[in-house]
Amino acid sequence: MYSFSPKLRLTSIILIIAGLVLFAAGYFINKSYDQASVEHMMEAVHSSGHTAPTHSSETVGPQDHSAHLEHAMMQVANQPLAALHLVAVFFFAASCCVLFFYSIQHAAHAGWSIIITRVMEAIASFIPWVGAVLLIIMVLNVMHIGHLFHWMDPSLVDPNSPNFDVLTLEKSKFLNVGWYVFRNILYVAGASFFAWKLRSQSKKVDQTKDRRDYQMLYRWAVGYIVFFGFASVGWAWDWLMSIDHHWYSTMYVWYAMVSCLASAIALIILVSVYLKRKGFLPEFNDNHLHDLGKFLFATSMLWTYTWFCQFMLYWYANVPEEVNYFFGRFEHYKETFLPMLLLNFVVPLLVMVSSSIKRNYKVVTIMAVVVIIGHIVDYFNMVMPGTVGPYWRNAAVLMLVIGAVVFFVGLFIFVVMTMLTKLKLIPTGNPFLHESKIYEYPF
């Protein structure tokens, strides 16, 4: 059995508190921005010569100074909720992707990964925690306390309003508050249920060692794969793509999912290597690390493929409604948009292409951290341009984002490691356990 060390527990609590303090500091700095401050921010943006919109709402409705100022005030006010939203969606999706990877292993009757079964179950236990945060964010937006989703503005579907937007009206069959609330609850409740059910069924297999119970584990794993296939598409639309509801992309859901799938593999690596180093998981060896390293490398390359395909097709077509998505990021997010390719593509390609490197614990662990940071930056680029626009180069946003990341990292450590203390690290009832113990990569 794993024992949660007091030192690591204290570290997680310190991270939670530090994250809350940083976020609170950023929140109060944000609230200190008055109309004059926002006007200065607008002048700074306009003086740079960059005028590409970061959200389609900037091209709809009145275009006078007062309308632009009102929009800028709302974007600046969005900073705290946007920072919390991007990190919460990232960790929720990454945790769900861990459970997806876990379910694929059972559905494929894979033997090599049985050793890390409990690691994946523990990471999946984080789903309801971060899901609760997402539901709180949902409530704040529905009550118009937050304004991350422009389509929730009722004036956009009112033909008598100067803000009327025919495209929003056409999409209102899907993008409406009631249907949105139902889907949010479905995502969180459904994923939380499967995380609990799969963990419970896995523990039952350990107790009974009955092949019929293992067959039920297989069936529930297949069920989650189906659920995840539909839900991951839905939450990519709802939580990310609908931030700018004028924009279309058939690649987006794959791009968003693969980003978190790479991060999910990285999380599995970090927890598994930690347990190995502390002597709690001696069965985890170079061969298991090598396979996880392969998946980390492969998903990083797959993410690059989806990113480039989406960019190339839209850039080549040069349709204004589509290419503005990239123009706004090139002009206002040049420090994060293209440089993230270094973390998510160039570094993994140069470092992890060698098979021998994938057996190096230190290098693979460092690469796992690099990939997680890179994809948090990726989610930053997905969320912030459409919610806070060009007004992100200030102390408030820096403290809010770092505070949210530190808080969720601390909470993740606390929840996952606490769950590991309640589980047998070796699933003794799994019929493929012996295969996993003697697994050896043949090349």
Which residue, 321, 315, 374, is CA-closest to 90? Answer: 374
Q: How far is CA 29 from the centre of its chain?
A: 26
d(CA 417, CA 419): 5
Asked if 403 and 26 touch (Cβ cutoff 8 Å), the reply is yes
Q: What is the pLDDT of residues 14-39, one digit of tens each?
A: 999 999 999 999 999 999 998 888 88
d(CA 284, CA 267): 15
Q: Please, where are the H alpha helices in 333-394?
A: 340-341, 347-352, 361-387
Which residue, 54, 22, 24, 44, is CA-closest to 381? Answer: 54
Q: What is the pLDDT of residues 74-122, one digit of tens each?
A: 889 999 999 999 999 999 999 999 999 999 999 999 999 999 999 999 9
Query: Interior CA angle at 107 toward 101 and 110, to 5°?
Result: 75
pLDDT at residue 184, as a whole number: 97
For the chain, the structural domain boundaries read 6-39+71-437
pLDDT at residue 83, as a whole number: 97
Residue 189, helix vs strand vs coil: helix
Which residues in the chain show pLDDT less than 50? none
Which residue, 1, 9, 126, is CA-closest to 414? Answer: 9
Which residues are CB-contacts of 124 (< 8 A; sequence separation ≥ 6)? Answer: 95, 96, 98, 99, 102, 195, 198, 199
